[in-house]
A = this chain, B = another copy of it.
Amino acid sequence: MAKKQLDYTCDPCRDDFALVIRKDAPFNAEPQPSDLVKNYITPLPYFFCRSHGPLPELDDKHVIAISGIGIQAPASFTVQQLKQDFAKKSVVMALQCAGNRRDGLHRVKHTKGVIWGPGAVANAKYSGCRLKDVLESIGLNCQIHDLGKLHVAFESVEECEEDTCYGSSIPLTKALDEFGDVLLAYEMNDVPLTRDHGAPIRVVVPGYIGARSVKFLKSIVIQDEESRSYFQRKDYKILPAHVDCEQQANDYWCKVPSIGEFNVQSYVCEPVDGVLETGSQPGKRLVKGYALSGGGRGIQRVDVSGDDGKTWVEADLFQPQMDTHTTNVWSWCLWTASIHTHRNKRIVCRAVDTSGNIQQEYPVWNYRGVMNNSWRNVDKNENQPSVL
């Protein structure tokens, strides 16, 4: 498909954001790592922006259409109706782009996509109505035939270069799960969504990559296959390392599953990653970072090393959802550790989630540069025993 010319002249002003711009149009930007771990709930100025096209201007009269399998007559709701007719629910959750830390793979070999650092992740309180409540109000429930094979496809008002609009889907089981916490959200951190974050209404899918949390929602369709959108079928997938160009990728898209839940992840945010010069300040140092895992899996441990992985200490974790013994942990974990640092040695960390998954040492490259969760960043000329 030939790339469309899109008009960004009506995009909002972002002067009050403390973000590093990764791409101007569409607007993609992330905070400095040290800013990112200042707050458990990420304030707007430090919240990464991920756009696929010019941002629409919509208000509460905007209509969301719902149709498909199990729905007798197509239904539609304005945002105003959703606010009035359904109970308001909140979820505190980490939103992470599948391309978070793509730079680590891009250093190994060229990747396709916005070159994100470690800041394409944030933690917010979203409020809105439960997708489950809305679907049940129009007749859908867990008794539907073949529930396990159905999908909920979302489309956005957002235009983009790659397809007619932004779209994506999730399994219907996730949408109807009592503990799935999928929302049609109209607030972020107790104020209405801004345009950069999908105003007036977006989907939020806790524990899934950000690509499934469709902004500027315009339609919901229940169907017996995944979304046919470019972004479901030909984009957010982990291709094998030997696939390294678009032509090869075209043969592979249909063989590789779309990413849903994300993997275990952590990062050292303060001091910033890289060689640490401690010449004038030897001894112990307080370091800070984040950790998270997908699918409701909490973080059970973060190991931190001041000597590039030779020795490790256990970090102190701040992860309130783990303490309340809820079914799923959707939020990230902020951690601190006091460690001995060494001249010319990197500080690194690795997290273990509640399923015992742990971050691997070296990046395993993939063409789309998604889901990078290695604990070691590799420079171009460094010995790279297992990067491909």
Contact = CB atoms under 8 A, between A and B. Distances in A.
Given A259-B356, A354-B260, A238 B310 contact: no
A312 B261 CA distance: 25
A358 interface: yes
A327 B173 CA distance: 8
- The bracket for how many chain A residues form the interface is 35 or more
Contacts of A336: none
A359 interface: yes
**Best-buried of A173, A297, A386 by chain B (most CB within 10 Å):** A386
Given A300-B238, A312-B241, A356 B371 contact: yes
A354 to B, nearest CB: 5
Contacts of A25: none
Contact of A359 (B294, B298, B360): B360
A128 interface: no
Interface in A309-365: 309-314, 322, 325-327, 350, 352, 354-362, 364
A388 B312 contact: yes
A361 B358 contact: no
A310 B354 CA distance: 30
Given A171-B327, A327-B173, A388-B312, A355 B294 contact: yes
Contact of A357 (B264, B311, B313, B322): B264
A355 B260 contact: yes
Nearest to A386: B309
Contact of A361 (B171, B173, B326, B361): B361
A388 B350 CA distance: 12
A279 interface: no
Nearest to A362: B361
A372 to B, nearest CB: 9
Interface in A221-280: 238, 240-242, 256-257, 259-264
A285 interface: no
B149 A355 contact: no
B178 A147 contact: yes
Contacts of A178: 142, 147, 173
A148 interface: yes
Nearest to A348: B386
Interface string A278-318: 00000000000000001101101101000001111110000
Contacts of A297: 261, 295
A130 to B, nearest CB: 15
A74 interface: no
Contacts of A356: 238, 259, 262-263, 294, 370-371, 373
A342 B144 CA distance: 54
Interface in A174-188: 178-179
Interface of A: 142, 147-149, 171, 173, 178-179, 238, 240-242, 256-257, 259-264, 294-295, 297-298, 300-301, 303, 309-314, 322, 325-327, 350, 352, 354-362, 364, 370-371, 373, 385-386, 388
> What 7 pairs across the A-B complex have the smallest Cβ distances?
A356-B371, A263-B356, A148-B327, A360-B360, A357-B357, A261-B355, A263-B357
